[in-house]
Structure formats: structure tokens, C-alpha cells
Amino acid sequence: MNHIENKVVIITGASSGIGEATAYKLAEAGAKLVLGARREEKLKAIADSINGKGGAAVYRVTDVVNPSDSKALVQLALDSFGKVDAIFLNAGLMPNSPFAALETDNWNAMVDVNIKGVLNGIAAVLPTFIAQKSGHVLATSSVAGLKAYPGAGVYCGTKWAVKAIMESLRMESAQAGTNIRTATIYPAAVQSELVDHITDSATSGSYRKLYDTYEIPAERVASVVAFALNQPDDTNISEFTIGPTTQPW
């Protein structure tokens, strides 16, 4: 049974990688998409492609660091489609480096996007989900949210935070009887633009080699998102770890 058809799903970080692949996957299943990211040209191209094939997609330039942007994205969903069923908090940064490199600007950027961006999305959608006593919050963490890696301490910290935030949200929602489900996804080497933003040269080289060796298409994660969204209302699958069969992550 298709539980995705006609669901209104918001996706952040929707202009590339996992977010883009998920938009296409859910559109094929009949979902109505609300896409947010910082690059308007890419968002427009994705929305145009979905709409051109008979789907339904709208977009808004969104910086998840700004709470007002997340609120506006939720409002766009309500204005365009009359409801919100799910939000996929997928925007993220991974400019890794050793602590000794003191790339403090990158530390702060990761905290702002990877943690505060998730919290801003939750804050924006929660009043609607609580009022309707249903909703699904999905978020992209990382295998770095399950274990620690040298050279990735801050990134790991932000992704561990996502794990804790999402699990607490699930438990609180169950206790309150608001029926809000959560799904946290922990990808290993999956095709994305994450590696492109690593400025530390030694770290960049090692990650590029890792991803070139192992990475699997972003569509693999999109399929997991679709699987989570396709569960009946009484069933919550809260965590998914996904990566290449050949990668010893």
C-alpha cells in the first residue's frame, strides 16, 4: 500500500545529493514536495522537473540557520497544499579538520547548520504537528553520529546531537500522544557535495579518496526515506544506518 501518495513533505538541503534524490523519489510515489535550500537556480530546476512530469513541487530559498526561513518554508507548504505531513531535515555541512588546525569558523558553521538548523526546522513545524496530532520528522545524521573519528570531532559532535534531539522528540511525542514519528538516518559514504567544502588540504585529500573508493548513489538513501514515510501511522522506525557494502565504516 502506498502511504506516501498525497503526503506533503518538506525537504531542506534539497538542491543536491540526498535531498535532491529524495525529492525525485517521493515525487514518483505521489508526494507533494516543498523544497528548501540556498541555491535558487538548482531548486527551480528540480521543481520544474517534478512539475513537468505531472508531480507537485514548490520551493523557497532557505537558509536553515535563520529561524524565520524555516517558518516561511512551513508556511509555504500550508499555503500551497493546505497541510504538512512530514519534514526531512537534511541540510548539513562537513568541513572537517583536526582540532589543531583551529578552523573555528568551520566549527561554528557546522554547529549552526547541523544542530541549530535541525532545531529551527523542528520549531517551525512542531506547532502544526501538535495541533493535528500527526506528523513525521526525519533528519540526516551520519555514521559520525554513532562513533567518533579523528579529524572530524566537531562534525561528530553535531551529528551525535542530532541523534539525541531526534530520539528525545520521539519519546516526548509518544508520551504526549501527539503521534509524531521520527526517523534518523546515519549515512556512510554516500554521493553528496559534503567533501567539496573541506578546506583543510590533508583532510580533503583523504576524504576525497575515501568517497571516490566507496560512495554509493544518493538514491540509496532516498529509498530509505521513502521506506520510513511509507510505514502505517501506528509504526515508527526510528533509526537507519546505511552505507556501501564494501566500506568498513
Among 245, 175, 241, 238, which residue's Cα sits nearest to residue 215?
245
d(CA 104, CA 211): 25
Task: List, in sequence order, every residue forming a beta bridge with 35; answer none if it has no partner.
Answer: 11, 59
pLDDT score for 193: 85
Domains of the chain: 8-242 (3.40.50.720)
Q: Does residue 153 surpass a pLDDT of 90? A: yes
Average pLDDT rounded to a whole number, residues 155-163: 98
Average pLDDT over residues 20-42: 97
Whether the full predicted model's pTM is greater than 0.95, yes or no, is yes
Whether 26 has a pLDDT exceeding 90, the answer reads yes
Do 3 and 231 meet the contact criterion of CB atoms below 8 Å apart? Answer: yes
Give Cα separations from 220 to 18, 197, 224 (angstroms): 9, 22, 7
pLDDT band at 237 (very low <50, low <70, confident <90, very high): very high
Give the whole-number percent of the chain exceeding pLDDT 70. 100
Q: What is the pLDDT, as a whole number, of residue 87?
A: 98
| Residues tagged active-site | 155
CB within 8 Å of 209: residues ≥ 6 apart:
none
Confidence band for 1, pLDDT divided at 50, 70 and 90: confident
pLDDT averaged over the chain?
Answer: 97
Lowest model confidence (mean pLDDT) among 47-56, 197-206, 220-229? 197-206
As a whole number, mean pLDDT of residues 63-81 equals: 98
Phi-psi region of 102 (alpha: psi -120 to 50; beta: other; left: phi over 0): left
Q: What is the pLDDT of residue 19?
A: 98
Mean pLDDT of 51-70: 98
pLDDT band at 197 (very low <50, low <70, confident <90, very high): confident
Residue 178 has a pLDDT of 97
Per-residue pLDDT, 144: 97
Report yes or no: 199 and 127 within 8 Å, Cβ to Cβ: no
When pLDDT is averaged across residues 133-159 and rounded to a whole number, the result is 97
C-alpha cell at 142: 551520519
Structure confidence at residue 71 (pLDDT)? 98
pLDDT average, residue stretch 71-95 = 98
